[in-house]
Amino acid sequence: MKKLCRCLFLCFASLLSSIPLLVFATEQSYSVSNVEINKSERDDRRYEVIRLINGINVLLISDEKAVKSLGALALPIGSLYDPKLQQGLAHYTEHMVLMGSKKYPNPSDFSEYLSAHAGSYNASTTLNRTSFYFDVENSAFEGALDRLADAISEPLFDPKYADKERNAVNSEFTLSRSNDGFRIFQTDAETINQNHPASMFSGGNLETLSDKPNSQLHKELVDFHHKYYLPDIMSGVLYSNQSLNDLAQLAEKTFGRIQVNKNKIQKINQSAITKENVGKIIYMEPAQPKKVLYIQFPIENNLDKFADKSDEYIGYMIRNRSPNTLFDKLQKQGLIESINAYNDPIRYGTSGVFSIYVNLTDNGLDERDRVLASIFSYLKLLKKEGIDKRYYDELQKVLALEFKYSDITQDMSYVEYLSDQMLLYPTQHILDADYVANHFNKQAIEQRLESLTLKNARIWFIAPNQKTDKRAKFLDVPYQIENISTSQINQIMKEADQLQFSLPLFNPYIPDRFEIDQKPTKEEQLINQPFNPKGNYFHFASKYFAEDPKAAVILSLRNNFVDDNVKNQVMFITLNYLVKRQLATLNFQADVAGIFIGTFNDSGIEITANGFNQHILALIEATLATYRTFDIKEEDLALAKSWYLERLDEADHANSNSLAMQPIYAITGKTYFNRKDKRQAISTVTVEDLQNFRQQLLTNSVPYMLTFGNLSDQQALELYKTVKNHLNSDIEYYPDSTWDINHQINAIITQNAVSSDNALFMGFVPKGYDKIASGNISMLLSQIIYPWFYDQLRSNEQLGYIVSVFSFDISNSSGIGFLIQSNEHDPAYLNERYQAFYPVILERLNALSDAEFDNYKQSILNQWMMPAQTFYEEFGDYYVDYYDSLFKFDTKRKSIEQFKLLTKNDVIEFFKQSVIQQNGLTIASEVIGNQPDKELNHVKGLTPYQNAAELQRVLSSL
């Protein structure tokens, strides 16, 4: 189950109200908290919180198994503190502090240092906080911390970079115009209390971030940093393989030098949503094809009651998918796809919202009042009968299990999250605040349910062709707001009184046994099973998580017909959609119980389950049984067709960089058919077609099964044999053929975007390299050259906000790809700048010293050779080879062996062959933005292809 209380927006008021640190004096210039941090009994990391002499609270995490070191610094200041005349200033400041500092004046120093040491960084600004975070190899931790600390403490704010970063902020703004989350956010800002700072435009653009008669941007920037970047309100996180004492000294040496400014920050006291802002209906047109009912109820900031989980209890009940609950009835009536409910108590700083979010079907949009009546009828049932400690105990147990057996992925998002937690919660609960549920507060639940009324709601209908009479500023979002009339309320509640629902069933899949049932994996087991066209079964024990009561199972019924024509592909997707609707209750119960289960395409039906081991095989069996037996009705097929056509429309409406990558992903996958053919195919599918196709899938397929972890090999093998007995034993399966790039060919695919942004992907795959060699070299090459490309084309030339270099696959070969999304420049100009910079890259590659190259290489190798950090990471190594039918399960070992042999000359030669001489595949995927008032030029000199399907046919035939 997802974490129930991870808040995205942080507030200064929460910091002020949190429990103060209890400290004892030391000889160092920092103090150590004597408050013990709650951690899982299975967590062997060491934790400590110190307060530096300048006031920064720093969480230290010592983990001798850490693959990388991670650092983060956060402050409870965000866009709510923007000056009225410089909206977006907090975001702009976040950008500018990283553009050179007193000790490290080169703006690219931080990124290049991290890249040279297998690292990366990011920063983000919300309404309530700004955060900076990075990861880096362990040996380079101090250098990365020093650079971040110097940027925060003594940024240069060189005016020559001002316009560049204004343009960077503006590029983010242009991206947001097609993002419906941002569009809702801005429309919300214009329809709440206009005296609250949340009503401002938080992202910023060239218009808002500019010199004005009474406000000079550069002065405001310097003043904002001086006023709000205060160490005594900051939180930091250091995570590494070093000892706590060493980490404390690192924090003192780096974060400890951030300069103290004694400024007092004014609290925000206004209410964001007043009584004038509720009892409203808001109609909004989305940028993407969707149909949404979104209900907001204003709530107070009750973060100090985080351990009650009262609002989370209500959300848990609303989301439940048991028979005859709100979700179950609306889904079976064909009115909704999904329903979610969640709370954000500090959405606006000192107040928040409780929200219900519903994805509607076409029928649901037409019968929106019926859906509303159902929601308020169910809320009425919860008020009357649904406040029951047994449900709370279930929620409490689920959260406790999730915390005890949590898998922590050690990347920079983890320390970003922890630095946020430090701003929100007492020291004791930094780690477990999202999982604590120790007070069943019946009165609080009753009071909240009493407030969830139509009169106290803001009801959004987000769908195409809504009635609108306004446009949200900057993002140009069509919307209309009106009062909910008394007659509407009476009509909806009258219908609500006539509806009947049931409370959820108690979950039968929450584990109560945590058995360990695995034996060490025999190495010979990895090589003694060649691929068998009649099927294979594999079981592996975990090498690193032998004491975890977890397992992972993949059952694949593979065949050679599921993808061989467009109608079969469309029927599989349609059938999979229908079975997922049938499995909604089972999947929800499993998810809550800590087990993921899903159905996918692995040359046929794939059923995947992973999580706690107690019920995992039973869930696989139940899923397969549902697939075999559920009824397919005409109304179900009509619903599936509508859903599928909307997915195709979504692909057409993707943002420009995603559109540019779509052909690349399509070419390297299974046989691809264009969306026009898919639309035609879905129109011809009948109920009888689906029934016959399902019978084929469940009869004329070959079983393959991979099990991993703490699971009875005997029981899993019995399941495999049972499945095999249901299949036609005469059928054989052979993996799809792959192909290498062994010819020189150039190609370009052009698409038109709905949004205004252009994009250009240029990819180069040299001929004559095998899969492992090309994959290794392109991965290392991208790691080296990405910061150079980014610094020149994004930071210096400001060509766009999304600027990237990465390795990509084309069937059995890999190459190097360059991508930019730009609102200002067309693909032809972007390609000119690419071409101009390729020789610079070659020059810089040649100039790399052997020591510098070895450092890049070794940093990647160190990560690769470290033991898996989570159960699922270890399982992933087996899954990659299983999916490709490489049943020696030795691809990773072979890749490491080959990678060790790479030389600088290998990388240079690869770049020369692929990019400079273009001796292989050269592929351009360009996207022309919707800018009717501007002439946009195409990339010239390449062979045009209509779509990815046509190019895939050519490449696979060479």
pLDDT at 177: 87
Average pLDDT for 86-100: 96
What tokens appear for 339 in the block? 């329903």
pLDDT in tens, 575-590: 999 999 999 999 999 9
Same domain, 583 and 635: yes
The mean of the pLDDT values for the chain is 93
Which value, to the nearest 10 degrees, does the dihedral of the CA atoms of residues 152, 157, 158, 163 take? 120
Residue count (the chain): 958
Q: Which residue is associated with the tokens 């780690």?
A: 431
Q: Rounded to whole angstroms, how far apart are CA atoms 880 and 277? A: 52
pLDDT over 70 (residue 890): yes
pLDDT in tens, 422-444: 999 999 999 999 999 999 999 99
- Which listed residue (41, 64, 94, 732) is catalytic? 94
pLDDT at 261: 82
List the alpha helices (DSSP H) in 848-947.
850-865, 871-883, 891-900, 904-911
pLDDT over 80 (residue 409): no
The residue out of 257, 291, 318 marking a domain boundary is 257
Same domain, 819 and 782: yes
Average pLDDT for 168-172: 90
Same domain, 691 and 787: no
Same domain, 828 and 708: no
The residue out of 447, 473, 497 marking a domain boundary is 497
pLDDT at 517: 66
pLDDT over 50 (residue 418): yes
Same domain, 691 and 756: no
Q: Is residue 855 part of a domain?
A: yes
Higher pLDDT, 28 or 160: 160
Same domain, 118 and 64: yes
pLDDT over 70 (residue 15): no
pLDDT over 50 (residue 682): yes
Same domain, 935 and 801: yes
Strand 802-810 and strand 458-462: the pairing is unpaired
Same domain, 132 and 241: yes
Q: What distance lies between CA 244 and its chain's CA centroid?
A: 31
pLDDT over 80 (residue 946): yes
Nearest to 347 by CA among 125, 126, 16: 126
Q: Which residue is associated with the tokens 């001489």?
A: 917
Q: Is residue 531 part of a domain?
A: no
Query: What is the pTM for the complete model shown?
Result: 0.92
pLDDT in tens, 712-733: 889 999 999 999 999 999 999 9
Q: Rounded to whole angstroms, how far apart are CA atoms 903 and 893? A: 19
Q: How many domains does the chain have?
A: 4
Instruction: Read off φ and ψ for residue 242, nearest 5 degrees.
Output: -80, 165
> Contact 713/539 with Cβ under 8 angstroms?
yes
Same domain, 475 and 381: yes
pLDDT at 518: 62
pLDDT over 80 (residue 698): yes
Integer CA distances (angstroms), 470 to 288, 467, 835, in order = 19, 10, 44
pLDDT at 18: 35
pLDDT at 520: 54
Q: Rounded to whole angstroms, how far apart are CA atoms 402 and 392? A: 15
**Order of strands across the sheet with 351-360?**
336-344, 351-360, 292-300, 458-462, 280-284, 477-483, 470-472
List b or e across 843-868, with b for residues whose CB sees 16 or more CB atoms inside 10 angstroms.
eebeebeeeebebbbebbbbebeeeb
Q: Is residue 914 part of a domain?
A: yes
Instruction: Read off φ and ψ for residue 93, nearest 5 degrees.
Output: -60, -40
Integer CA distances (angstroms), 424 to 19, 83, 414, 574, 589, in order = 10, 24, 16, 44, 30
> Contact 594/527 with Cβ under 8 angstroms?
no
Same domain, 284 and 231: no
Average pLDDT for 878-895: 95
Least confident of 253-262, 479-488, 549-558: 253-262
Contact partners, residue 822, CB within 8 Å, separation at least 6: 171, 757, 758, 759, 799, 800, 830
Nearest to 260 by CA among 56, 477, 14, 465: 56
Q: Rounded to whole angstroms, how far apart are CA atoms 163 and 906? A: 39
Q: Is residue 736 part of a domain?
A: no
pLDDT over 80 (residue 28): no
Q: Rounded to whole angstroms, how far apart are CA atoms 252 and 258? A: 10
Nearest to 136 by CA among 102, 153, 111: 111
pLDDT at 67: 87
pLDDT over 50 (residue 14): no
Same domain, 116 and 243: yes
Average pLDDT for 787-811: 92
DSSP string, 105-169: -STTHHHHHHHHTT-EEEEEE-SS-EEEEEEEEGGGHHHHHHHHHHHHHSB---GGGHHHHHHHH
CA atoms within 13 A on the CB side of 645: 14
Query: In terms of residue numbers, what domain contains 945?
Result: 745-956
pLDDT over 80 (residue 909): yes
Average pLDDT for 655-676: 93
CATH number of the domain encompassing residue 479: 3.30.830.10
Same domain, 855 and 782: yes
User: Rounded to 5, what percent of the chain is helix, strand, coil?
Assistant: 45, 20, 35
What tokens appear for 111 in the block? 């990124």
Provide the 8-state DSSP code for 830: H
Strand 68-75 and strand 130-137: the pairing is antiparallel
3-state secondary structure of 555: strand
Q: Is residue 513 part of a domain?
A: no
Contact partners, residue 765, CB within 8 Å, separation at least 6: 741, 774, 810, 813, 814, 815, 914, 920, 921, 923
> Contact 627/579 with Cβ under 8 angstroms?
yes
Provide the 8-state DSSP code for 37: P
Dihedral sign, CA of 852, 856, 857, 861? Answer: positive
pLDDT in tens, 134-169: 999 999 999 999 999 999 999 999 999 898 899 989
pLDDT at 519: 61
Higher pLDDT, 706 or 11: 706
Contact partners, residue 771, CB within 8 Å, separation at least 6: 740, 812, 813, 814
> Contact 295/343 with Cβ under 8 angstroms?
no
Q: Is residue 31 part of a domain?
A: no
Least confident of 166-175, 316-325, 617-626: 166-175
Q: Is residue 318 part of a domain?
A: yes
Q: Is residue 70 part of a domain?
A: yes
pLDDT over 50 (residue 5): no
pLDDT in tens, 503-552: 999 999 999 988 786 665 554 445 568 999 999 999 999 999 998 999 99
Task: Give yes or no: 142 in active site.
Answer: no
Average pLDDT for 775-804: 93
pLDDT at 903: 97
pLDDT over 50 (residue 124): yes
The residue out of 257, 289, 315 marking a domain boundary is 257
What tokens appear for 290 in the block? 């969707």
pLDDT at 670: 86
pLDDT over 70 (residue 12): no
Nearest to 701 by CA among 833, 556, 599: 556
